[in-house]
Structure 1
Amino acid sequence: MQQESGVSPDGVSLSPGCVLCHQGAKMVLFVTGRCRRTCWYCPLSRERKGRDVVFANSRQVSSPAEAIEEAESMSALGTGVTGGEPLIVLDRVVEYSRALKEHFGPEHQIHLYTGLAPDEAALRRLQGLVDEIRLHPPHECWPDILDTDYARSAVLARELGFLVGIEVPALPGIGALAAALPLLDFLNINELEWGETCADAMRERGLEPEDGVHNAVLGAREWAAELPRDPKVHFCSSVFKDSVQLRERLKRIAANTARPFEEVTDDGTVVYGVLEPAGPVDEFLASLDGDDYMVCDKTIEMAWWVLAEEGAGLPGRKYVVERYPNGGMVVEVTPL
């Protein structure tokens, strides 16, 4: 059964998957880095590109059970399946999607991003597991989109009950995809992004980053403007992905996983103090409640303000750590 779409403040009709992404409520399930295409603009990192690995958000996993753990850590309401090319490992997509649906229930919304045009056999295997198909036709076929297998796949997928859209980066000539709008439920345009593995290809084409802060490529917004204003067309900016989508996802994870002494910031990171003792600290620890600190090998972690205010005279190195939640990447370390 098709799920209802949402509407953005500017009147654009958003797919259910996009609505959940806006809320940071979707886990990203990267099922493989393998892909038979060689798109020059592919932004995958060296850690993932071409490698047959599975990640749930930023955590490498080896089973559906581990992916479910990650989804639970952020109270995920849905999952976006991506790659590489997910349909190269269709059995894996089916296995993980079924496990997520069985664990969280049929309302756990799953969308699949694919650079292939799935045929009826593939679509029927995905029925009841994937709610939304996001097709990524290659750049060279955009001028003749209605004569491609992607158009035929879109029609068939809608007949089988999937929500169907095209999702591609903003590139010159994107206006040609307007011809496919009657076949689709949505058309998502992602702002073209600079990446470590595609930087050389972008330089060869005379492209450059929009500024020194974000990954957006200069000119991508103007290319996206080739498409008509239509409720089905949605432009997703690089800034939104970095500043809103990721932040909301981190906040959901932090709310579920932060230790009692960690401060959760507005950006979804956690902050705590670290003491590397150079002498006895038993008396100091005895003055704290058990939830106020954690002994970790050669360090003691605690509320940063407790360390700053009450541990000032303690011997040893003291500093404040800001990091992504659930043991994620360290953002900043500040000495005390």
Structure 2
Amino acid sequence: MDSHIRKAYANVYDTMKWLLPDEIEEAVFTRTSLLDRIMGNPQAHWAHSRTKLYTRHISQGCTLCGQGRWSCLFINGTCNARCFYCPTAQDDPGQPMTNTIVFDHPDNYADYVSRYHIKGVGFSGGEPLLTFDRLLAYLKALKKRVDHPVYTWLYTNGILVNREKLAALCDGGLDEIRFDLSANGYRLETLEQALHVIPRVTVEIPAIPEDISTVKQLMIDLERLGVNHLNLHQIRCTPHNVNHLIDRGYTFVRGPGVTVLESELTALALIQYALERDISLPINYCSFAFRHQFQGMGARKRCAKEIRAGHEDITPTGYIRRLTVIGAENHIADVCKTLADRGVDASLYSISAKKDAISFSAELWHLIDFSKVRLKVGYSQAVLREGVSYRHPFKKVALDRGKSLVIEKQMVHSTDWLDSEAVQGFGSLLDIRGKLQTDSTQDPRLRGPCKNILPFETITPGLARYY
């Protein structure tokens, strides 16, 4: 992991203030102490495998995000603010895009949302209000063409908000507006205008350590105004913003993504402050542990359903799992006979052309005699693309208005052949129906090759480790 990070931040890695081994214990103690005080309040709750901490309740949009039932449409890639924490350059005027797919016509995007039965859409950028007519056209297309309810929300820095735009968004059916007040000096004027027009108003800001006193007062003001939610998210580091974060003296934490230690501790301190003072404003902490694991899961699952084979499974994290046993032809024949004698649906397993291997759904696990065969576990991810790369198996998906997309099945991990102990360890993850039992992930047999497959099988609970 560290070699990957070194490569990504090659020019500045040695100047970054990394969390050192002898500092980890103190950081963990500080976080644990904050969490203990927070969770001692009955208004504090965990959601999504204890990766999302919130008080009282969270918005419908955040719930749909955690369920993987939403789509984020980047209306443009330009912005009129220059926030030090922004992870990208925001200098690409580009066409509306989601999951790398360009939707250059509102009806095409609405048909995509309808086809995949997406329940929530967040409009983001850049700053969406820079292309207001475009934003409004996509919003109206969703409300007009999609035949199921779609909860919609807008991310904005608020700089271009006015009563006319708010009224048009309301008439177009916008359900929620989210202000990043930190991008506009924590000014409240445009937010106050929205409170009288848009059904739900949220403030969504990064937890900036230097602004903790400002945000404490802000929470009191937001409660007084009747704002519906406050979302605090953790600052993450990218090659684009790294120099700005270095200049502020932040401590960087390694992981699947580089994050800022002080940002997480600030978010928790703010939640503790609100609870201790009985501030009724609902607050949620959108941690990187949540975003990294949950925000791609929904898109993977949607596409996986369309391209997986009948003998493959979709894991809780949205990957396509293939289980394969190999052995002498007579041993494979014995496995096939057992399955046939039990009347198993033939679509749940597949025999190789050489008849020396069989791939099977996990729900058949209890019918397989592993004593004379070896097991391999492989994982693929379903990826939506504009066109065919011809490097992976694919399936074309037709939308209305003549637009078509492609789902590719890309291999992302394949284990070595597992020994008997590892096979037993993997089997401990599954119940009789082949479903994952997340409380089995600490099985001591789950080491070596099995340990490496856990990220494809299950969400890692709790906030990210410090290391």
Find the residue that maps to 1:19 and give its secondary structure: helix
In the other structure, the counterpart of 1:94 is 136
Q: Offset at 1:36?
A: 1.4
In the other structure, the counterpart of 2:293 is 243
- Find 1:63's aligned residue among 102, 105, 109: 105
Q: Offset at 1:103?
A: 1.9
1:220 corresponds to 2:263: yes
Q: Offset at 1:246?
A: 2.8
In the other structure, the counterpart of 1:276 is none
1:175 corresponds to 2:216: yes
Cα separation, 1, equivalents of 2:416 and 2:352: 11
Q: Which runs of 5+ in 1 are unaligned?
A: 1-6, 143-147, 274-291, 294-302, 313-318
In the other structure, the counterpart of 1:322 is 380
Alignment of 1:134-149 (within 5 A): 134-138=178-182, 141-142=185-186, 148=187
Q: Offset at 1:162?
A: 2.3
Note the alpha carbon deviations across 1:150-187, whole angstroms, 9 max, x for none: x2322222212421011011102133421323221111
Cα separation, 2, equivalents of 1:329 and 1:32: 28
Matched length: 291
Find the residue that maps to 2:204 and give its secondary structure: strand
CA contact (8 A) 2:111 2:146 kept: no
In the other structure, the counterpart of 1:33 is 77
Q: Offset at 1:135?
A: 0.6
In the other structure, the counterpart of 1:198 is 241
Between 1:259-268 and 1:25-34, the stretch displaced more is 259-268
In the other structure, the counterpart of 1:209 is 252
Structure 1 residues 111 and 328, CA gap change in structure 2 (3 angstroms): farther
Find the residue that maps to 2:173 and give its secondary structure: coil
In the other structure, the counterpart of 2:320 is 270
CA contact (8 A) 1:250 1:269 kept: yes
Structure 1 residues 140 and 89, CA gap change in structure 2 (3 angstroms): closer
In the other structure, the counterpart of 1:109 is 151
CA contact (8 A) 1:94 1:129 kept: no
The structure carrying a bigger helix percent of its residues is 2
CA contact (8 A) 1:216 1:238 kept: yes
Cα separation, 2, equivalents of 1:176 and 1:329: 49
Structure 1 residues 262 and 196, CA gap change in structure 2 (3 angstroms): farther
CA contact (8 A) 1:321 1:330 kept: yes
Letter of the 1:112 counterpart: L
Q: Offset at 1:43?
A: 1.2
Larger Rg: 2
Runs of 4+ off more than 4 Å: 7-11, 259-262, 303-309, 333-336
Cα separation, 1, equivalents of 2:140 and 2:354: 51
CA contact (8 A) 1:254 1:268 kept: yes
CA contact (8 A) 2:231 2:285 kept: yes
CA contact (8 A) 2:177 2:198 kept: no
Find the residue that maps to 1:13 and give its secondary structure: coil
- Find 1:160's aligned residue among 194, 197, 206: 197
